[in-house]
Amino acid sequence: MTDEATAFVPGHVTGFFSAHPNDDPASAGSRGAGVTLTDGVRVTVRRREDGARRDDHARRDDERRASRVTLNGDRVTVDPVESVLAEFGVRADRVEITAETPLPVGAGFGVSGAVALGLAFGVNDLLALGRSENELVTVAHRAEVNAGTGLGDVVAQARGGLPIRLEPGAPGRGALDGVPERPSVEYVTFGELSTAAVLSGDTRALTAAGESALADLREKPTASRMVALSRRFAREAGLLTDRVEDAVDDVRAAGGDASMAMLGETVFAFGTGLSDAGYDPSVCDVHTAGAGLVRED
Amino acid sequence: MTDEATAFVPGHVTGFFSAHPNDDPASAGSRGAGVTLTDGVRVTVRRREDGARRDDHARRDDERRASRVTLNGDRVTVDPVESVLAEFGVRADRVEITAETPLPVGAGFGVSGAVALGLAFGVNDLLALGRSENELVTVAHRAEVNAGTGLGDVVAQARGGLPIRLEPGAPGRGALDGVPERPSVEYVTFGELSTAAVLSGDTRALTAAGESALADLREKPTASRMVALSRRFAREAGLLTDRVEDAVDDVRAAGGDASMAMLGETVFAFGTGLSDAGYDPSVCDVHTAGAGLVRED
């Protein structure tokens, strides 16, 4: 019997997007484009054999049930986790979830979506649930939408590459394409922004700017154009902070190009844009594969 | 200016399939399931600066134009190549195409589809054509269908993993899912079979067996079930050769499971099925990423 299962999910930075709410969370989502990263989240799911004995206690204690996730060694609450487990009919106290990541949390890298998706892959394997990849992605996407923590990270993280979200929603509803380049990536983070706060506000200006950027990217889907359109979007949508704008200006002054991660006080660039401008960025690559199980040999 | 571009395309073994012809080659294709392999084809496309001067000669010499591909050092004809170049408006004598692979040709590994797809990625990058990944896959899929060398390899090779072809056709028309496992793979090849010969014959029994296997796999999409259903399909479709059947029986006698690659005299197994049965197989892994450019740093 397998006692644990591990999945890796790439980080995902959205460059621009439009929000498409829907009463059906599998059909809700976003259009837009972004970058998946070799910096990602490694999620391990283990059986808790003592879970059954704690039955009554655990059932009464909702807060306890919500916090059975360890992220980089700290107990945390990741909103979509409970709903992923509930969809699979797995009681929260039957599994222990450990996530490790070099990515900052709350800064636009899709960490919550990654935990949800990695959990779906891990639980499916650990408990031999027999779901397909599309089903696992759908469960994680729905959980992320219901939690309000993201609209398009999960489907992008499942795909890998430089994903273009043509149509919103989970597999079978949404549609994806990709930019066929594999540049290296640099990023710096100045702080957090609340995705839920932006998504729950008036998103009309944002969505108009996102739709316009998507149409322009589809005409010529290249990495450099994606960054330029992301920069235009961030300005038009009114999401640039002063620190982010300064860093983007610095990169452009040094001959490169950069934009802002949606949603975080994070600047990303392809190639050596940030280090050429004197920053000390994290460096990684575009993740080619998308989310999947990690085989332990 | 870039003078060459390289793409890697995983090998793809189909375990079972149903054939779905259509007058529109982008809508034609197959349903079924298979395995993408870390053993694949590396395709490099280079500019030929002398192409323009050879203009008249090349235009008259069709055979010459059809054979500007080098595969493992030998000049070969790969049927879909010319149609990929024609779709992009690239004269065949303007580029030199070099393909390297450890895979046997004509034995069910999708080498011709891989060359077509790698060429599409390579030419797009080399000549800055600005196509999206879906467009590149569509061009290669159409070329493969028109050449009669395959129906589902290209879309599977673009995806990676253990692809399930739910609906036939290129991106936007077809639909894919996947089995969320990443086992290691063993294979042995006894000889070639002609895909074109099988596909041009009566495919009704084959398609009925393939549809039935697909329905059963979708109920519980696991790697072991995929192999078992592939074995049932090969028998029902009447495609097993004696040598293949003997090897499959040997693997099963040793406690494993194996089936036949569609279409080649090739046996594949997950884990150590073939070596446990005393064979000396090639060994590789499931390819997680699907086709893409290779960055040369």
User: What are A98's strand-pairing partners?
Assistant: A44, A70
Phi, psi of B68 (to 5 degrees): -90, 35
With beta carbons under 8 A apart, name residues in chain B contacting A218: 132
Query: pLDDT per residue over B17-51, tens digit each?
Result: 999 999 999 999 999 999 999 999 999 999 987 65
- Left if phi > 0, otherwise alpha if psi is -120 to 50, otherwise beta: which for B131? beta
pLDDT band at A204 (very low <50, low <70, confident <90, very high): confident
Q: How far is B247 from chain A (nearest CA, A)?
A: 26
Residue B54 has pLDDT above 90, yes or no: no
| % of chain A with per-residue pLDDT over 70 | 92
With beta carbons under 8 A apart, name residues in chain A contacting B178: 132-134
| % of chain B with per-residue pLDDT over 70 | 92
Does ipTM surpass 0.90 in this model?
A: yes
Per DSSP, the three-state class of A240 is coil
Note whether A172 contacts B: Cβ–Cβ < 8 A: yes
Note the pLDDT of residue A56. 53
Query: pLDDT per residue over B167-200, tens digit each?
Result: 999 999 999 999 999 999 999 999 888 766 777 7
Cross-chain Cβ contact B179/A132 below 8 Å: yes
Note whether A295 contacts B: Cβ–Cβ < 8 A: yes
Cross-chain Cβ contact B292/A161 below 8 Å: yes
Note whether A2 contacts B: Cβ–Cβ < 8 A: no
With beta carbons under 8 A apart, name residues in chain A contacting B288: 288-290, 292
Q: How far is B35 from chain A (nearest CA, A)?
A: 14
Pick the CATH number of A4-178+288-294 from 3.40.50.1110, 3.40.50.1010, 3.30.230.10, 3.40.630.40: 3.30.230.10
* CA B174 – CA B145 distance, rounded (Å): 14
Note the pLDDT of residue B203. 81
Note whether B121 contacts A: Cβ–Cβ < 8 A: yes
Residues B118, B43: contact at Cβ < 8 Å? yes
CATH number of B1-297: 3.30.230.10
Which of B6, B133, B214 best probes binding to A when mutated, by most A CB atoms within 10 angstroms?
A: B133
Note the pLDDT of residue B50. 61
**Nearest by CB: B121 against A171, A180, A288:** A180
**Residue A61: both structure tokens together:** 């204690």
**Nearest by CB: A134 against B132, B136, B177:** B177
With beta carbons under 8 A apart, name residues in chain B contacting A134: 177-178
Note the pLDDT of residue B63. 46
pLDDT band at A295 (very low <50, low <70, confident <90, very high): confident
Cross-chain Cβ contact A180/B222 below 8 Å: no
**Nearest by CB: B125 against A132, A171, A180:** A180
The Cα-based distances of B124 to A221, B120, B145, B198, B288 in angstroms read 11, 6, 20, 32, 23
Note whether A129 contacts B: Cβ–Cβ < 8 A: no
Is B269 or B1 the better-scoring residue by pLDDT? Answer: B269
Note whether B290 contacts A: Cβ–Cβ < 8 A: yes
Cross-chain Cβ contact B292/A288 below 8 Å: yes
* CA B165 – CA B167 distance, rounded (Å): 6
With beta carbons under 8 A apart, name residues in chain A contacting B179: 132-133
Residue of B nearest to A287 (CA): B289
Cross-chain Cβ contact A180/B134 below 8 Å: no
Note the pLDDT of residue B12. 98
Of A116-120, A200-204, A281-285, B102-106, least confident by mean pLDDT is: A200-204
The Cα-based distances of A207 to A32, A113, A210 in angstroms read 10, 21, 5
Query: pLDDT per residue over A235-273, tens digit each?
Result: 999 889 999 999 999 999 999 999 999 989 999 999 999
Residues A167, A173: contact at Cβ < 8 Å? yes
Note whether B172 contacts A: Cβ–Cβ < 8 A: yes
With beta carbons under 8 A apart, name residues in chain B contacting A182: 292-295
| Amino acid letter, residue B226 | M
Query: pLDDT per residue over B135-154, tens digit each?
Result: 999 999 999 999 988 899 99
Looking at chain A, the domain(s) classified CATH 3.30.70.890 span 181-285
Cross-chain Cβ contact A180/B292 below 8 Å: yes
Cross-chain Cβ contact A177/B133 below 8 Å: yes
Note the pLDDT of residue B55. 52
* CA A93 – CA A153 distance, rounded (Å): 27
| Amino acid letter, residue A84 | V
With beta carbons under 8 A apart, name residues in chain A contacting B121: 180
Note whether B77 contacts A: Cβ–Cβ < 8 A: no
Residues A161, B133: contact at Cβ < 8 Å? yes
Phi, psi of A189 (to 5 degrees): -120, 130
**Nearest by CB: B221 against A130, A219, A290:** A130
Note the pLDDT of residue A115. 97
Note whether A25 contacts B: Cβ–Cβ < 8 A: no
Looking at chain A, the domain(s) classified CATH 3.30.230.10 span 4-178+288-294
Q: How far is B60 from chain A (nearest CA, A)?
A: 34
Query: pLDDT per residue over A27-47, tens digit each?
Result: 999 999 999 999 999 999 999
Taking residue A173's Cβ as centre, other Cβ atoms within 10 Å add up to 17
Query: pLDDT per residue over B57-106, tens digit each?
Result: 555 555 455 547 999 999 988 889 999 999 999 988 889 999 999 999 98
Note the pLDDT of residue A117. 98
Note the pLDDT of residue A63. 46
Note whether B171 contacts A: Cβ–Cβ < 8 A: yes
Cross-chain Cβ contact B133/A161 below 8 Å: yes
Note whether B2 contacts A: Cβ–Cβ < 8 A: no
Note the pLDDT of residue A194. 75
Residues B70, B76: contact at Cβ < 8 Å? yes
**Nearest by CB: A125 against B172, B180, B288:** B180
Count of helix runs (H) and strand runs (E) in chain B:
11, 12
**Residue B283: both structure tokens together:** 């060994």
Residue of A nearest to B136 (CA): A180
Output the average pLDDT for chain B.
Answer: 91
pLDDT band at A98 (very low <50, low <70, confident <90, very high): very high
Mean pLDDT along residues B236-248: 93
Note whether B122 contacts A: Cβ–Cβ < 8 A: no
Residue A60 has pLDDT above 90, yes or no: no
Note whether B125 contacts A: Cβ–Cβ < 8 A: yes
Q: B181, B230, B194: which is closest to B210 by C-alpha? A: B230
Question: How many interchain CB pairs under 8 A, A with B?
Answer: 88
Note the pLDDT of residue B215. 98
Mean pLDDT along residues A146-174: 95
Fold annotation for A181-285: Alpha-Beta Plaits (3.30.70)
